[in-house]
Structure 1
Amino acid sequence: MDKITFLNELEQELNSIPSTERDNVMYEYEQYFFDQEREGKNEYQIIGALDSPKKIGKEIKAKNAIVSAEYRPNVKSIIRAIMASLGMGILSLIIILIPMIFIGSFMFVLLLVALFLAISPILLIIHGSLYNMFSLAISNYLFAFSFTGLGIVLFVIIAKLAQFVYRLILKYLRWNIKTIKGSANE
């Protein structure tokens, strides 16, 4: 592979990132080739020292997705960052996917518990109407309303926990990229 083919393949790999960023990356690699050629290396030696355009593209897209998720904190951007990081290799699949499934399941169970607690007065009324067991004990209704309060507090805790987990996932994805890149360079 020669320099032109390398740069063309790299540009094709970076097709999904914004054009200004793609242009910056392409400029950096063209400048790298220029600097290395000035030091006396030929283009085949330079390309031999670099990763493949596909691998470089995946890494840049993953970093771009993580930066995007930092500035646009929502589920879509974090999923995009996770998926871009998963594309970096099979080890990434294990390192990223297993913790994400665990965290997602834990958050989903907490959300269900909060929802169940929040609608407990409605469940008490439905239960009473289905089985003709309306209780006149005010304590049952007071407990149901206190469970609603606990559900609302749990929703707030889940929201704060989600913000923390979001930042933690971004740090984890950055660490994963550094680890993979570091192991590839060794």
Structure 2
Amino acid sequence: MAVDILDKITFLNELEQELDNLPRSERDKVMYEYEEYFFDQENEGKNEYQIIGALESPKKIGKEITAKNAIASAEYRPNVRTIVRAIMASLGMGILSLLIILIPMIFVGIFMFILLLFSLFLTLSPVLLIINGFFNNNFSFAISNYLFAISYTGLGIVLFVFIAKLAKFVYRLILKYLRWNIKTIRGSAVE
């Protein structure tokens, strides 16, 4: 499909260079699979140019494998660093990926950040009430003001727990979305 001027050695060398960011064991596994694929296809009577002509370019294969590996790593070790790496690896698969992935991720990130700031504001409301009274020489001796501030703290803590649960859900949703994106791109490349 994509490349028909490379020979087998050049194709495999370019593929290995594209997989340079993967751990050595993963890279060796992928290279073994492609070498075995070439061996099997050659045993069926195809020459290396026919085999390479039926494959995607080494660059595209490498980006897809790198993205899948980053997503698997994000599933295994859930943290911000691994999810960002998975998103960035998926972005490398094309300009459409940039639009499909980056725009929703920006909106989700902004929404989560605003919720977190609001939660922090509610949690710190008693401290803010005292600071406001100190700087404005306007201390309130009404106990209801402090009780409301403490209730806002409780609401802020509940909101923070909600945000933590929402973050777990969004994390899983992002991984599903990235896997779907890779399948969609692969499907459109096959057609």
Per the normalisation by structure 1, the TM-score is 0.99
In the alignment, does 2:16 pair up with 1:29? no
Instruction: After TM superposition, give the deviation of residue 20 of structure 1 in Å.
Output: 1.1
SS at match of 1:27: helix
1:115 maps onto 2:120 in alignment: yes
- Residue 18 (structure 1) aligns with: 23
Counterparts in 2 of 1:2-151, with a 5 A limit? 2-151=7-156
- Give the whole-Å Cα distance in 1 for the aligned partners of 2:48 and 2:76: 38
1:159 is aligned to: 164
> What is the Cα-based RMSD across aligned positions, in Å?
0.6
Return the alpha-carbon distance in structure 2 between the equivalents of residues 25 and 71 of structure 1. 20
Letter in 2 for 1:99: P
Once residues 10 and 131 of structure 1 are traced to their aligned partners in structure 2, the CA distance between those partners, rounded to angstroms, is 67
Q: Distance in 1 between matches of 2:144 and 2:28?
A: 68
Report the identity percentage.
81
Aligned residues: 186
Q: For residue 18 of structure 1, report the CA deviation from its aligned partner.
A: 1.0
Structure 1 position 160, deviation (Å): 0.5
1:93-138 residue CA offsets vs partner (Å, 9 max, x unmatched): 0000011001000000000000000000011011111111111110
Quote how far apart the aligned CAs of 1:15 are.
Answer: 1.0
Residue type of the alignment partner of 2:126: P
Deviation at 1:12, TM superposition (A): 0.8
- The Cα offsets for residues 126-163 of structure 1, whole Å up to 9 and x where unpaired, read as 11111111111100000000000000111100001000
Query: Could you list the per-position Cα deviations for residues 25-49 of structure 1 after superposition, in whole angstroms to 9, with x for gaps in the alignment?
Result: 1111111111111111111111111
Per the alignment, residue 189 of structure 2 pairs with 184
Q: CA deviation at 1:11?
A: 0.6
Give the whole-Å Cα distance in 2 for the aligned partners of 1:130 and 1:21: 60
Distance across 1 between alignment mates of 2:137 and 2:16: 70
Structure 2: 5+ residue stretches without partners = 1-5
**Structure 2: how far apart are the matches of 1:40 and 1:112?**
64
**Unpaired stretches in structure 1, ≥5 consecutive residues:** none
Q: TM-score, normalised by structure 2?
A: 0.96
Distance 1:71 1:47 in 2: 33
